[in-house]
Amino acid sequence: MRIERETLRPAKGSSADIWATRWSFSVWTSSSTVHHTRVASPCQPMPWACSASVAGPQRSRQRKCPMERGSMGGAWSGVSPKDHESHCRGLSGLLLRWKSEMEPPPKSTTSMAAWPSSTRRGRSSAVLCEAVQRKATRKRVHLITGAPSIGERCQKRRNNVLEIDSRQKTADVVSAMRILLVTTLSILVLSGCQEPTGRSEAFLQSYHRGLDLLERYRLRAAERAFAHCVRLEPEAAEGYWQLGRVRLVQGRIEEGVGLLEQAASLDPELTAARSLVLETFLGRGKEALEEGQFAQAEKYLQRALAADPEGYESLYWAAVAALWQEDYARADSILQQAVALHPEPLELRWHRKWLQEALGRSVTGAFVDAVPQGTISGRFSEVGAEAGVDKFDGGRASAWADYDEDGDLDLVVIGHPALAYFRNDGVRFVDQTQAAELVLPEGGIGVQTADYDNDGDADVYVTRDGWFGGGVNVLFQNDGRGVFADVTEASGTGDPGSSFCAAWSDFDRDGYLDMYVANGTGATGDSTNVLYRNQGDGTFVGVAEAAGVAHKGQALSTAWGDFDGDGWPDLYACNFTEPNVLFRNRGDGVFADVTEASGVGAEYIDGFITFVLDYDNDGALDIFVGNWSQYPVVLADRVAGKSTSERDRPVLFRNKGDGTFADVTEAAGLGRALGTMSGVPGDVDNDGWVDIYLGNGGPQMGRREPDVLFRNRGDGTFVDATEAAGLGHLGKSHGVTFADYDRDGDLDLYAPVGGAQPGDQWPNAFYRSEGFGNHYLVLELEGVESNRDGIGAKVWVYADDLMQYQEVASGYSFGNSNSLELEFGLGQRVRADRIEVAWPSGQVDEYWDVEADQHLLLREGFDLSSVEGETR
């Protein structure tokens, strides 16, 4: 650790006669990167202009001290309410409410131990500092209701936590550094802010000597000075107070807590001593939870509850600890008490609701959910363990393809820390990662599949590292037998930006797949999006600048589609903190920015994922944008049954067919906030109308939000059919994908699930459709003059009064890949009158009078009857 000090003059015009100190802290560990934070000492009167640059996924920004926003109240760490105005400037402005306001978490950071509390709705609230960055492997969790028992899944989670012991030493070092840094900040900032009264001259001399030594970070000497104060006047609370703080800095937690408790017993008005004891146990308890040390976490949080039996934070986190320890009855009891004492926070009532449901108890009205629940004709069953794909991997992206060319769909799953390849053997999945040489130990964010070299097999592209900063992306070439080789360097596709996803398209229609990579995730504009043009010889060249799509924002998701119907694939880029962008393909290798003219770049959109669909069956591609919303807003919308904040809801843009789009979100019944992190379109009930599945959640361990299935009712509106379909698990889903893995004609669903901490981890979920009683057609396209996958091909299916339209695509949403097969539901219709395919090459094929309930291979330029193995 290095600590630097700089003396600052008072603000111009201020009557203050005290100068301020600006501190600079730098911390290193063997596994950590440097995080440099500059803060101003809060020991100064108004009017100090306090702000701090905070780096995080929402972009770096200037945040004012919460006191200026009126968000601070109550006592904290020796500062009485009347002294808040002079003490909350500076450091507290950086730290206060960081964790609650900056989700998802800053890239590669791990939370600090508890900082002295502020108040939240008049209650104690831990203030956490995200100040030590590290490249630690993230593990994630979720809770499934109506699936295998909580106990079974918690056992899996505990077993998996044991598997990460190899990283525990790193975690221990980081944890120790957190305690050291945070408590050091506590002492340096607040020491000297209160002047002892009624003490002897010798006491005051030793006391001030100790404060001076603290400012110079001479801890042992400061310890001796404050210990001398205790010996001089054993009844003086101030000596125990400062000595306890020093012991906390030294990592001697139990000794420090004992001294603080002694100070509080000597001076009952020194409530800050009890507050710091509370925050110490809260902070250590939360850290233990995040690291997966659940028994230790419960011990700390029980002590926090003993220190503040009626506090919001102590009750809430004690309940969370009991939940992780599988003591569900105790968790429910604590939440019941918490709701009675603190009826306003929706989080408490929501958590009690789903806990009662998980326990099989009747819900007692703690949380009134006003979201209308619709019906659907069938259900899904969770079969992850049975199928062998309930992988613990941090819950990132997934991609489906027949990688080994044996006739059924296999699965590639990316996470932190590893990539995995599951081969479908017709009954269950077998992990073939090592045998297939599809090895990437460091993992990544997104995985996209496509046959980039037109040799007849599916290749794999991995984007890295998104929130965690730049990382070289990787291209794996399939040899046709399901064995892969890393051809990143040879192909020229190793983009080093902070990539989140990539999407494939033949934008110049030369028969070879090109690729657009979305960058800038680590911080707004830290890297430019890349367009790779396939040169047809296994290599790619960057043409983003020349093509006019060198967008520099914070792109999390992209989607290709022919929005204007001119035969050329256009490009939509979804940005997290800036307006989205629509690029129209002019057909000459150059794109035009038509965002404003088309009406799809509204300022109120903070998009996380995007995809295209024809939700109203009018033959024109519409655009869906899923926004990631704060937890309190999500819960408020559930209570209201509608959107309470336009900026937080998702957006559905209806293509008007004239180059413009209309926001029809509210009219379509999609107008409420969700923590959307992934999503896919698909006709899950085969009624002929495309539905929407959204994976939701957030990185905080306490956040539990269900995924949502919006069933298309065929009249331009959607209804939440999640519970009816058996998909209402609580978790944090990323990279969800559809595929008909068992070849029974309906869509099955894979949902990678996880939080942002090693302890917040559960197995990925896999939902098998049990059927919906409707007919279908599954179409697999094979290009000849076009790219072999037929990506970009446009397909219309006509059956009686029903017309449906889809385009073949790979790489939208959370950087994942559905199966490239197109599933068309026909409802009760037993045949399609006509199928029309417009290939990227310009070839148009038509197939007439096609019987339902078939898997068909459509080869470019061939009659259906002449294709060998046309049904399989």
- What pLDDT does residue 162 have? 36
Secondary structure string (H, E, C) spanning 115-166: EEEEEECCEEEEEECCCEEECCCCCCCCECCCCCCHHHHHHHHHHHHHCCHH
Helix (H, G, I), strand (E, B) or coil at 354: helix
Nearest to 872 by CA among 857, 860, 858, 851: 857
- What pLDDT does residue 606 have? 73
pTM (whole model) above 0.85: no
Is 412 within 8 Å of 393 (Cβ atoms)?
A: no
| Spatial distance between the Cα atoms of 108 and 106, rounded to a whole number of angstroms | 6
- What pLDDT does residue 425 have? 93
- What pLDDT does residue 194 have? 61
Give the residue carrying structure tokens 């057909």.
587
| Spatial distance between the Cα atoms of 92 and 784, rounded to a whole number of angstroms | 64
DSSP secondary structure string for all residues of 694-713: EEE--SSTT--EE-EEEEE-
Q: Burial level of 651, CB count in 10 A (0-12/13-18/19+)?
A: buried
Q: 73 — alpha (psi -120 to 50), left (phi > 0) or beta? A: beta
- What pLDDT does residue 562 have? 98
Alpha-carbon torsion (440, 444, 449, 453), positive or negative: negative
Amino acid identity, position 432: Q
Q: Give 753's contacts (C-beta < 8 A, 6+ positions apart).
A: 140, 141, 142, 395, 695, 697, 729, 731, 732, 733, 734, 762, 763, 764, 765
Residue 431 pairs with which residues in a beta bridge? 422
| Spatial distance between the Cα atoms of 444 and 392, rounded to a whole number of angstroms | 14
Instruction: To the nearest 10°, report the CA torsion of 806, 812, 814, 817.
Output: 70
Phi, psi of 329 (to 5 degrees): -65, -40
- What pLDDT does residue 55 have? 31
**467-520 residue pLDDT tens:** 777 789 999 999 999 999 999 999 999 988 888 899 999 999 999 999 999 987
- What pLDDT does residue 401 have? 97
The H or E element that residue 799 is part of is: strand 794-799
- What pLDDT does residue 34 have? 33
| Spatial distance between the Cα atoms of 297 and 293, rounded to a whole number of angstroms | 6
Q: Which domains does the chain have, with CATH numbers?
A: 199-359 (1.25.40.10), 381-838 (2.130.10.10)
Kindly give the residue spans of alpha helices, DSSP state H, lying in 735-830: none
| Spatial distance between the Cα atoms of 723 and 411, rounded to a whole number of angstroms | 26
Q: Which residues of the chain have pLDDT under 50?
A: 1-176, 179, 182-193, 865-872
Give the residue carrying structure tokens 């002019």.
586
